[in-house]
Amino acid sequence: MTSTQSQRQNGASPEEAVVSLESVRRTYYLGEPVDALDGVSLSLPEGSFTAVMGPSGSGKSTLMNMIGCLDTPDEGTVTVNGQDVGALPDGKRARLRGAELGFIFQQFNLLPRLTAAENVTLPMVFQTVVDEGRRERAETLLTRVGLGDRLDHTPPELSGGQRQRVAIARALVNEPSVLLADEPTGNLDTETGSTIMDLFEELHEEGRTILMVTHERHIAEHADRIVHLVDGQIEEIEDLGGDSA
Amino acid sequence: MKLTESLRISWRAITGHKLRSTLTAVGVIIGIAAVIVFMVLGGAFEQNIVQDFEEDDGEPGMWVNTQQVGTGSFQFVTAPIYTETDVENLEAIDGVDFVGPEANLRASQFSIGDTRQTGGFGVQAVSPDQYNSEDLIEGKMFESADEALLTQSLVNMTDGQASVGDQIRVNFDDGAAEEFTVTGIVEGGFGTGPNAAVYLSLEHHYNTTIETPRGTEEKAYSSLIIGAEDASVVDDVKKRATEYFDTESDAAQLKQDDQDIQVQTIDDAVDQITSVIDQLTVFIGGIAGISLVVGSIGIANIMIVSVTERTREIGIMKAVGARKRDIIQLFLIESSILGAVGAFLGVVVGIGVGYLGVTLIGWPMAYPTDWVVIAVVVGLGVGILSGIYPAWRAAKVDPIEALRHE
């Protein structure tokens, strides 16, 4: 599948895309060269909710790391909010990551010694956001995800679902262009998982751009479309007829 | 990332591992405290000695003695090179009150009453003009060949038994044994002689002679005391005496080439002793400083462990936008806090232990202000230095790997 095809299918022009990948190749050398991503072109229009599915080793994580500015392509370009990620020096890439991307992990990945509010504040700390208003912003967001009464609890004092809500609040704190969720319900029971997915739906309705990696079909179906990755290539983009732009 | 933010987060990391952080800081505390304790003890010892000298400062005067050159200080040469002619010439110098030769008599044992003492004391033949009546604690100056003065230290050796009027028996090294009547007791040792001493009449007990450069035989002494008329002329007298020894003295010609004639006032002696104690203190402090190196290795070690342990946290911080320099800052501040807290507590412990030691020994307390400043700076430096490598390792952590890390 070529980039023009995928763009046509997305129904979005590159100018409206918050993130776009252009023929991205990433090769790992594990004894022999392995193409984790083999010429992938994809764009995430503003306000879209995209799920990525595929068997393990299909390149889901690498795709996530590319968009998340944690990795850079060997060939092709990744553009986040108009900036060519591969061309940025390390420090600027870190700043861009903190400002434009919000990560939500399967393992929650909160700092265990910081309170919920402090964890939420952390991305602002690294963006050198002025002190005033930070705490309030964290409180607002934690209240928004239903944890207004858990501000000063540390992660070990919270349940899995609550930790993931803290992580979501943290991902939102810098008003990022894209939310990146990596198996966000993978460590949660079905019931808790579905409340987290409800939260994702709400965020989508607010107009946020979301990319979610999952291997569970029913989780992926919350999205507008599902990108199927196989062997580092996009096999199919399945349109679920959502309200994507 | 702001410094205050790093401080808060680093402090949280330190207090998150209380036992570990405490033990790490203890390494630095011991190092700094050890250095400070030795500096306190050294300073106190020095002050104590200086005080002793200043209290002793009854008469303005100076010592003349011979020292070996090039072997460091306090290598006294006992060869008798100061002739009777030298004594007379010195006495003729303006401002000189008296010249008292000090002459050591070789003796190894004395007995007084039931007490018999071998070694640890000296017998000197001295000239009576070098004592004022106020030097005598009790009794009076010797007048004849079979009379002697004792110092208070020697009396203490006999557990205070010896007193004026007692008989003291001295066994000289040449085999002779003589009895003397104690006529008086004086405060301390004079000149460079031992504190515990028996003083005999120079006139009657000293007959070491030497061939002068002029070919005559004269009595000669191993050291002299020059008393000045008053404190204001001490420096002038010293200058003239030194001049005399440099030019026309017999002693200058009789001494060996590698020996030096020293004219020392009390201030000179204090300076010399102070400089030796200083060197010694710094030397011992340096040895104590080794424990500081060990302490800094402790910090580095714990920081490396902590980087490995917190790999995932580093990954998380990078995922939410931390740059390399932010991570370096966090780890450097953490190690600096350990170093600074260690240094601060080390100074407190060091001063405390030093104070205790000094009080027990009975020396005056000395606060080594400069060393406190040095210690804190070194502690902070140690913290930063030992944090550099771990911080660099932390900054190098690959966030993708780190987030996968369990």
Domain ranges in chain B are 3-51+273-404, 80-254
Among A94, A113, A128, select the one facing B318 at the smallest CB separation: A94
Per-domain residue ranges of chain A: 45-69+87-239
B interface residues, A as partner, C-beta within 8 Å: 1-2, 5, 9, 12-13, 16, 312-313, 315-326, 399-400, 403
| Cα–Cα distance, A61 to A182 (Å, whole number) | 8
ipTM of the complex: 0.88
Residues of B in contact with A98 (CB under 8 A): 320-322
How far is CA B219 from each of CA B73, B83, B148, B214, rounded to the nearest angstrom? 27, 6, 21, 14
Residues of B in contact with A130 (CB under 8 A): none
Residue A56 region by backbone torsions, left for phi larger than 0, else alpha for psi between -120 and 50, else beta: beta
Whether residue B61 has pLDDT greater than 80: no
B256: tokens are 């060996």
Closest CA to A176 of A138, A140, A123: A123
DSSP-assigned letters across all residues of B134-161: GGEEEE----STTEEEEEHHHHHHTTT-
Is the sign of the CA dihedral B226, B231, B237, B242 positive or negative? positive
Is the sign of the CA dihedral B168, B170, B176, B177 positive or negative? positive
B interface mutation test: which of A115, A122, A170 has the most B CBs within 10 A? A122
pLDDT-derived band at A10 (thresholds 50, 70, 90) equals very low
Contact pairs from chain A to chain B, CB under 8 Å: 67
| Per-residue pLDDT reduced to its tens digit, B21-38 | 999 899 889 999 998 999
Q: Give me the pLDDT at residue B192, please.
A: 46
CA distance B399 to chain A (A): 7
Which residue's structure tokens are 């992990």? A105
**Does A71 sit within 8 Å of B322, measured CB to CB?**
no
Selected residue with higher pLDDT from B331 and B72? B331
Whether residue A141 has pLDDT greater than 90: yes
| Per-residue pLDDT reduced to its tens digit, B171-224 | 888 888 888 888 888 876 555 456 788 888 887 778 788 888 888 888 888 888
Closest CA to A79 of A35, A106, A105, A44: A44
* Fold of the domain built from segment(s) A45-69+87-239: Rossmann fold (3.40.50)
Q: Please, which contacts does B347-353 make with residues 24 or more away whose CB atoms are closer than 8 Å?
A: B347/B32, B347/B33, B347/B36, B347/B372, B347/B375, B347/B376, B349/B29, B349/B32, B349/B33, B349/B36, B350/B32, B350/B33, B350/B34, B350/B35, B350/B36, B350/B37, B350/B39, B350/B40, B350/B375, B351/B36, B351/B40, B353/B33, B353/B37
**Does A174 sit within 8 Å of B323, measured CB to CB?**
no
pLDDT-derived band at A5 (thresholds 50, 70, 90) equals very low
**Does A91 sit within 8 Å of B5, measured CB to CB?**
no
Among B9, B12, B319, select the one facing A70 at the smallest CB separation: B319
How far is CA A60 from each of CA A54, A91, A178, B30, rounded to the nearest angstrom? 7, 25, 16, 53
Chain A residue at shortest CA distance from B397:
A70
Q: Print burial letters for B91-119: b (CB count within 10 Å at least 16), e (below 16).
A: eebebbbbbbbbbbbebeebbbeeeeeee
How far is CA B288 from each of CA B23, B282, B379, rounded to the nearest angstrom? 19, 10, 14
Q: Give me the pLDDT at residue A181, please.
A: 95
Q: Give me the pLDDT at residue B284, please.
A: 87
3-state secondary structure of B59: coil
CA distance B313 to chain A (A): 6
| Cα–Cα distance, A232 to A234 (Å, whole number) | 7
CA distance A21 to chain B (A): 19
Among A90, A114, A128, select the one facing B2 at the smallest CB separation: A128
Among B313, B321, B400, select the one facing A97 at the smallest CB separation: B321
Q: Give me the pLDDT at residue A182, please.
A: 93
- Amino acid A31 reads G
Q: Give me the pLDDT at residue B362, please.
A: 87
CA distance B295 to chain A (A): 26
Selected residue with higher pLDDT from A60 and A243? A60
Residues of A in contact with B396 (CB under 8 A): none
